[in-house]
Amino acid sequence: MATPTLEKTADTAAASPYITVTFRIRRFNPEVADEAQWQDFTVEIDPKERVLDGLHKIKWDLDGSLTFRRSCAHGICGSDAMRINGKNRLACKTLIKDINPEKPITVEPIKGMTVLKDLVVDMEPFFQAYRDVMPFLVTSGNEPTRERLQTAEDRERFDDTTKCILCAACTSSCPVFWNDGQYFGPAAIVNAHRFIFDSRDEAAEQRLEILNDKDGVWRCRTTFNCTDACPRGIEVTKAIAEVKRALITRRY
């Protein structure tokens, strides 16, 4: 396939900090072909810009049919998770200069999920696993008349897993999930952890039983792919191990 190119103008060339970068993107359109194919795009871009900026340049100036998700563009919504040079990353947090722009930058959809078009995958199974672990506070009694108080120590117990933004970078980096889409996956377990260890919650036993399933927490093989992939720095593998320990000891 021909390589579209976005050229800088002569007026800006002399003082421009821009460099020429090739984006090699895995394209898939089910209305056009049954198989995905790679397509190269060449753009002029400041190396301090992000991969997301490069994708914007391609979509806005070269090929409007390029399809990908993005929303806040600041690493908060988690919608632009994709495989960049073979690793799960957020396009909005990945700088061009940090990924060897002298070689083509490969961009493809995250693995283990059905590709709908280009870099967009079907996230419904991922979110169903998230819903299945009851990711909400469960308490008994009447609605409180004041805030449910908690000590700083109790809050710290699950602080790390509150950082999850549901980007699916961890789950789609897991080799168990690649081979068995029924596995709950790291993100669902992380969000169960967040409530299992919350001193205000009363449904820890229910969540533990949900994860004590053949497709639950015991499927984890402790490869640390999930921890490496997390853009928020959550110790995902540690959280999974703590849930396993809680299942054995029933102490949480």
Give the separation between CA 65 and CA 212, rounded to whole angstroms. Answer: 44
Question: What sign has the CA pseudo-torsion 39, 41, 47, 52?
Answer: negative
DSSP symbol at 42: E
What is d(CA 183, CA 211) in angstroms, rounded to the nearest whole number?
10
Instruction: Please tell me the predicted confidence (pLDDT) of residue 182.
Output: 87
Tell me which residue has tokens 């792919």: 225
Q: How many angstroms separate the CA atoms of 152 and 231, rounded?
A: 25
Block residue for tokens 């169960």: 192
Dist CA 84 CA 184 (whole Å):
24
Which pLDDT does position 33 carry in this prediction?
A: 94
pLDDT tens-place string over residues 172-188 = 999 999 988 789 999 99
What pLDDT, in 10s, does the model give residues 71-91?
A: 999 999 999 999 999 999 999
Amino acid at 34: D
Residue 217 contacts by C-beta under 8 Å, 6 or more apart in sequence?
Answer: 184, 189, 211, 240, 243, 244, 247
pLDDT of residue 59: 98
Average pLDDT over residues 201-222: 95
DSSP state letters, 94-117 = -BGGGG-TTS-EEEEPPTTS-EEE
Question: What does the pLDDT read at residue 2?
Answer: 57
Nearest to 111 by CA among 52, 175, 40, 66: 175
